[in-house]
Amino acid sequence: MSEGFDSYTKELFDALFKETSATAEVPAEVRERIGQLFERAKSSENLTQPIVDLFLELLNAAKNFKASPEAFGIKREELVALARKHEEIDEHHVTIGGRVMRAIPIVEEANRRVEEYLRLKDVEAPSGIELWDQIQKNMERIKKRLGMTDEEWNTFNGQLKHAINTVEELAKVIDLPEDAIRDVARVTQHYRMRISPYYASLIMPGKINDPVLLQSVPTGEMIDNAGIEIPPVAADHSPARLIDQFYPRVVAVKITNMCAMYCTHCLRIAHIGKKDRIYPKDTYKEALDYIRKNERIRDVLLTGGDALMLPNHLLKWILDQLLEIDHVRMIRLGTRIPVTVPQRIDDELLDILEYVNDKKPVRVVTQINTAQEITPVSKEAFKKISKRVSAILNQAVLLKGINDSKVKMWKLCETIQEAYVRPYYVFNCSYRNPQFAHFRVPVEVGRDIIESMYGNISGDAIPRYIATAGGKVPLHRSNVMGRADNRVILRKPWDGTIAEYPDADPEKYFCDDKFAFAKYGWNR
Ligand SMILES: *Cc1c(COP(=O)(O)O)cnc(C)c1O
Ligand code: SF4
C-alpha cells in the first residue's frame, strides 16, 4: 500500500480489507447505521468523532460478519480520504489508525481495571459525605442523650466537655451488646477512652466492626493480646526533652500528650493520654534550645499527642520561636483534630497558620484511616486550612477491618484528595505494641493494596507504604526486573505486564564531560 500511512493505519486498513468480503451478509440495521455514519463522516467539516465512529463500526462489521467496507458501498479511496482528513483536523495529527487500533483499546483495557472498584466503592467504603444523612441523625441522637446545646456541639470546648470517657457514657450514645459493654469496662480500667461526640456520630448504628467504632472504642484484645511490650519509640529515639529524632535534618517535638480522641491503635500509647498534662514553658524552651543548637535541623514536626490540643496563644508562641531560628526552614503540625473535632479549626488558628506560612512553609500532617471520616464538616475544615498552609498531608495506618482492602484504601485516598488532603504515607501497623496486634496486616497484603493504585488513580493520590523501624522504611516492590543489554526490564505495577526501557547511553553519561555549552571555547 503506498498511501503513505503510519503502521497503525495500515493495520487498520488491513483489518478492514484483508480476509473480508464485499458480498458478506450483514443485518439490515448494521447496513443502515454504517450508511448514516458514512454520510456524517463525509459531511462534517471539522470533527474527528464522526470519522472515528465510522471506522469503529466498519471494524466491528469486519470482525463480526467478515464484511469489507465495499459491502456497504464504501470504496477504499473514500476511506483513505477520510483517514487523511482525520489526521489533518486533529491538532496533534493523531492518525485514525493510532486512535482506533491503539488508543481506544488501551483505554478500554484500562477501564476494566477499575470496574470492580467503581461498583463497590460506595457500598464497601462509603464516605462520611455519602453517609451524611445517617450521621446527622446520629448527631441529633447523641446531642440529646448527652444534653448538649447547639453552641456546645459547635465548639471545641463543648465537644471536649462532653467527650465520652466512660463506658456508661458510651452505652448512652451507642447501642452495643452487653458482653461488648462489659469488655469495654474491663479495658478502660487500663486504657484511656475519649471520643468526641462529633466523632461518635460517625459510627454507624448496628454495624459490626464499624471502622470508626474500631478506631475509637477499645476492645478486650488490648489487654488480652499476649506479648512483650517493646519500649516506646521515645526510649530509643529521644535525644532531648520532648524530642524524637532519628534523622539528621528532621525532628519531631511532642508538644503535648493529649488528643481529642484516643485511637485504639495509637503508636504512642505508652505516653499518650494516661493523664492530660499541660507543660510549662520551660519544657518547650529546653526542646527549642536543642533545635537552636543543632544547625542541621531544617524541618520541625510539632506533634503529640495532637498539636492542635494546645491553645492558640501557646501554639503561636512555639511557632514564633521556630520562626526565629534561622536554620529551621519548614514546620509541620501533626493533628487528627480536623477529623475528630473539626470545630477546633477557628479563625484565630487559621490566621496563625497563614501568618507562619507566610514566613516559612507550614504543612499540616493529619491521620485519616477511612473515607467515613470525611464528612462535609471535616472537608470544610480541611478546605479552610488548605487556603492558609502550603500542604495538608495524610499519614494513614493500615488496619485490619478498617482499611485493609483495595476498595477501602483506594476510596480513602480518593476521598481525602477531594477533601484537599494529599495521601502521604500508609504505615504498616507497628509491631512494638502487643495492645493492637489484632489490627496488624501482613506487609505484603498492604503492599499489594498500595501498588494496585498505580496507573488506576491520580499519581498524587498514591501514598508511600512504610514500616517504622527506627526511621521510615519504604515497603514497595521494585518494578525493575532486570536488564537486557542496555535496556531495563520494567514491570507495570497495575497489571504486571512487562515493558522494555532503553537506558541512558553509559558512554555519553560517564565519559563525555564536554557536553552542551561546555564544548564551546569559554575560558571562564
Ligand atoms: C515521622 C517522623 C519524622 C518525619 O519523617 P518524614 O519522612 O520526613 O515525614 C521525623 N521524625 C520522627 C521522629 C518521625 O517519627
Ligand atoms: S491522634 Fe495520634 S497520638 Fe493521638 S491517640 Fe491517635 S494515634 Fe495516638
The pLDDT value recorded for residue 77 is: 97
Cα of 507 from ligand 2 centre, angstroms: 53
**Spacing of C-alpha 322 from chain mean position:** 30
CA-based torsion, 31, 32, 36, 37: positive or negative: negative
Cα of 305 from ligand 2 centre, angstroms: 6
CA 266 to CA 193: how far, in whole Å?
12
Counting from 1 in the atom list of ligand 2, the atom nearest the Cα of 259 is 4
Residue nearest to atom 7 of ligand 2 (CA): 266
- Smallest CA-to-CA distance from 454 within 471, 475, 476 is with 476
| Helical axes 7-17 vs 49-65, angle rounded to 10° | 50
Counting from 1 in the atom list of ligand 2, the atom nearest the Cα of 262 is 5
CB of 247 within 6 A of ligand 1: the answer is yes
Cα of 303 from ligand 2 centre, angstroms: 10
Q: For residue 299, list its beta bridge partners.
A: 250, 330
**Spacing of C-alpha 256 from chain mean position:** 27
The pLDDT value recorded for residue 169 is: 96
- Flag residues of the chain having pLDDT under 50: 1
Counting from 1 in the atom list of ligand 1, the atom nearest the Cα of 245 is 13
Cα of 399 from ligand 2 centre, angstroms: 14
CB of 301 within 6 A of ligand 1: the answer is yes
Cα of 362 from ligand 1 centre, angstroms: 15
Cα of 90 from ligand 2 centre, angstroms: 54
pTM (2 d.p.): 0.94
Return the DSSP state at 403.
T
CA 128 to CA 378: how far, in whole Å?
9
Counting from 1 in the atom list of ligand 2, the atom nearest the Cα of 303 is 3
Please choose from 246, 301, 432 the residue to mutate so as to test ligand 1's pocket, defined by most ligand atoms within 8 A of CB: 301
CB distance 363 to 393 below 8 Å: yes
Cα of 130 from ligand 2 centre, angstroms: 26
Please choose from 472, 473, 475 the residue to mutate so as to test ligand 1's pocket, defined by most ligand atoms within 8 A of CB: 472
Q: Which residues contact 389 (CB under 8 A, 6 or more apart)?
A: 353, 354, 357, 361, 362, 363, 364
CA 382 to CA 390: how far, in whole Å?
12
Q: Where are the domains of the chain?
A: 7-116, 132-219, 480-511
Cα of 429 from ligand 2 centre, angstroms: 13
Question: Looking at the CA of 308, which ligand is closest?
Answer: 2
The pLDDT value recorded for residue 431 is: 87
Question: Looking at the CA of 474, which ligand is closest?
Answer: 1
HSE-CB of 432 using CA atoms within 13 angstroms: 19
Cα of 237 from ligand 2 centre, angstroms: 18
CA-based torsion, 362, 367, 368, 374: positive or negative: negative
State phi, psi for 430 to the nearest 5 degrees. Answer: -65, 150
Question: Looking at the CA of 272, which ligand is closest?
Answer: 2
CA 261 to CA 163: how far, in whole Å?
8
Q: Dmax over Cα atoms in the chain, in whole Å?
A: 94
State phi, psi for 484 to the nearest 5 degrees. Answer: -135, 110
Counting from 1 in the atom list of ligand 1, the atom nearest the Cα of 424 is 9
CB distance 447 to 476 below 8 Å: yes
